[in-house]
Amino acid sequence: MNRLLNSTPAAIAAVLAFIVVIWYGAAVYLNSDVLIDKYERKKTEWNFQVLVNDSWSMGRPVLPAPHQIMEDMNKSLFGHKITSKRSLVYHGWITISSTLVGFVMGGVLGILLAIGIVHVPTLNKSVLPWIIASQTIPILAVAPMIIVVLGAIGLTGLLPKAFISAYLCFFPIVIGMVKGLRSPDPIHLDLMKTYNATQSQKFWKLRCPASTPFLFASFKVSIAISLVGAIVGELPAGARAGLGARLLTGSYYGQTVQIWSALIVASVIAATLVFLMSFMEKIVQKRMGVLT
Amino acid sequence: MKDIPQVVEASKVDLVFQTADGPVHALSDIDLEINKGDFISLIGPSGCGKTTLLRLIADLEKPTGGMLRVNGMSPEEARLNRDYGYVFQSPALYPWRTVEGNLKLPLEIMGVEKADQNERAREALEMVDLTGFEKKFPWQLSGGMQQRVSIARALTFHPDLMLMDEPFGALDEIVRDQLNEHFLRLWEQTHKTVVFVTHSIPEAAYLSTKIVVMSPRPGKINDIIESTLPEKRTLDIRETQEFLELSQRIRKGLRAGHSYD
């Protein structure tokens, strides 16, 4: 029994079962007000059994029951052609693609800024405060402006959303990379000095490999943030496509089930992306001799 | 005599560090001559500036006064010329490189040809008796083996001068004895000039041709002792009368530098 609980899948299943039980209970509790109100108005007879059954099968519940969400996800993921606007696969893919493009842009920007900050003292003093300031502005306020400004110069579709992702996800990468590039021991740097190594040799043979653990830690944070950025970017973009659009139309029409299934798809995507990042990290670590 | 420049020539070398607590006089009035083929030990209590003196020779610090020449050049020119191999107190191996990768590091930086790199790495590894460990990562080796790799790394590019900062300081006595003997064999074969920092009297007496005794605050040279021991030495020599007398002289020199006022 103990061994069973210690295995990862069993632990995840146990937590999931716990959440589902709480969820069903919460669905009854949160939906009961509306239902009881309705029973009173229509003067129908009701008991607890009826209330429970009804609260798990409402069309527009305050909190849908897990099986309703599963049904909706099943229908919208597999029930339509994946090119259809009603397919969650279609919307999910739109969000993933701008997430990935934004992540790559943010990654390149973050790494380049970090290299500059580590090597040029002036940049260290002048740029870092601006980078920190950039993250204190709420992204919900900036996102519509980015969409509008880029739209005015003819950029629409994927790129503006990717810009928002990049805006959010370059930050952890800059911070992590600056720390990583500065992580070599003084003794390792002294060694390079005794060899009369050039700046670029010092960078490629010492600073760069020393920074990889920091880089992957940042990547894992950034790719999840990048997804949030893509979804936020879809809200003001006319809500045409993407998981953000599903969330927005869901809330316009009170389609709570649709909102929840889009949310769950988003979290599954985020978990998968972070997992892929960890997997890449393992491969790189293995090549660098960290694991046995 | 004057046509061959001394390997290290120091006269009235002074070094003052500016720290937040005011200036610290690390080295004062250092006069020292090191000839080709010498095995020089710098010995003294911690804080006497022996490591600092080594770092001055290596151009990892700059003197604030006096004259210091390495191979007839300024220390910086000697460093740019890659005239010396430096062995640090800790092995300072790159953890993401294998033993072979670590040995090739200086060769890659110095632009040695690929085929030559393998040959030289193999040769250096053989010198420290670690053939067969090429593909191991540093963490798979014991502390003594790591330090041997670090010595081999300094040998790969064939410098004539070896600067060694307490290379065996962190090792236990048994391993230390082994490495001392091994390193002495290596020195007999190659006759490189060695400047060796230590705080162990037996180590200094056993290895050196010349022992420089230093004292702290400010770091200065107290005594320079020419070794009377024969050039061929084994660990047994440490039981002889001559060795004990030499050790005693070093101890006296160290004591003289220590005033407890």
Q: What percent of chain B has a predicted confidence (pLDDT) above 90?
A: 18
Measured CA to CA, the distance from residue B32 to residue B54 in angstroms comes to 12
> Tell me: the pLDDT tens digits for B112-161?
888 889 999 998 888 888 889 989 999 999 888 999 899 999 988 888 89
Residuewise pLDDT in 10s, chain A (292 residues): 566 667 788 888 899 999 999 999 999 999 888 888 888 888 888 888 888 888 888 888 889 999 999 988 888 888 888 777 888 888 899 899 999 999 999 999 999 999 999 999 898 888 888 888 888 888 888 888 888 888 888 887 788 889 999 999 999 999 999 999 999 999 999 999 999 999 899 999 999 999 999 999 999 999 999 999 999 888 876 657 888 888 888 888 888 888 999 999 999 999 999 999 999 999 998 888 876 5
What local confidence, expressed as pLDDT, does residue A1 receive?
57
**B79/A193 CB distance under 8 A:** yes
String of DSSP letters for A222-271: HHHHHHHHHHHHHTTTTT-SSHHHHHHHHHHTT-HHHHHHHHHHHHHHHH
Whether residues A145 and A278 share a domain: the answer is yes
Q: Are B122 and B153 in contact (CB under 8 A)?
A: no
What local confidence, expressed as pLDDT, does residue A17 receive?
93
**B98/A185 CB distance under 8 A:** no
Structure tokens at A269: 């995507």
| Mean pLDDT, rounded, for B17-38 | 85
Q: List the one residue out of A92, A98, A222 whose CA is nearest residue A160.
A: A98
Residue of A nearest to B79 (CA): A194
> Tell me: the pLDDT tens digits for B148-198?
899 999 988 888 899 999 888 888 888 888 888 888 888 888 888 999 999
Whether residues A182 and A99 share a domain: the answer is yes
> Tell me: the pLDDT tens digits for B37-67?
889 999 988 878 888 889 999 999 888 888 8
| Structural domain includes residue A257 | yes
Measured CA to CA, the distance from residue A68 to residue B178 in angstroms comes to 74
What local confidence, expressed as pLDDT, does residue A5 receive?
63
Using a CB-CB cut-off of 8 Å, the residues of chain B touching A193 are: 59-60, 79
Whether residues A53 and A96 share a domain: the answer is no
**B109/A190 CB distance under 8 A:** no
Domain containing residue A237: 88-287
Whether residues A14 and A99 share a domain: the answer is no
Whether residues A31 and A139 share a domain: the answer is no
Give chain B's domains with CATH numbers.
Answer: 1-83+188-261 (3.40.50.300)
The CATH number linked to A95 is 1.10.3720.10
Letter for the amino acid at B181? E
Measured CA to CA, the distance from residue A70 to residue A264 in angstroms comes to 10
> Tell me: the pLDDT tens digits for B216-261?
888 888 888 888 787 778 787 888 888 888 888 888 888 876 655 4
Taking the Cβ of residue A284 and every Cβ of chain B, the question of whether any pair is shorter than 8 Å is answered with no
| Structural domain includes residue A69 | no
Measured CA to CA, the distance from residue A256 to residue A252 in angstroms comes to 10
Whether residues A268 and A163 share a domain: the answer is yes
Minimal Cβ distance to B60: which of A190, A196, A212: A190
Measured CA to CA, the distance from residue B95 to residue A234 in angstroms comes to 44
Minimal Cβ distance to A288: which of B85, B89, B96: B96
Measured CA to CA, the distance from residue B50 to residue B164 in angstroms comes to 11
What local confidence, expressed as pLDDT, does residue B128 receive?
83
Whether residues A97 and A147 share a domain: the answer is yes
Q: How many helices (H) and strands (E) does chain B have?
A: 8, 9
Whether residues A53 and A109 share a domain: the answer is no
- Domain count for chain A: 2
Q: Are B250 and B213 in contact (CB under 8 A)?
A: yes
Minimal Cβ distance to A196: which of B82, B96, B105: B82
**A290/B98 CB distance under 8 A:** no
How, if at all, do strands B193-198 and B210-215 pair? unpaired
Whether residues A55 and A97 share a domain: the answer is no
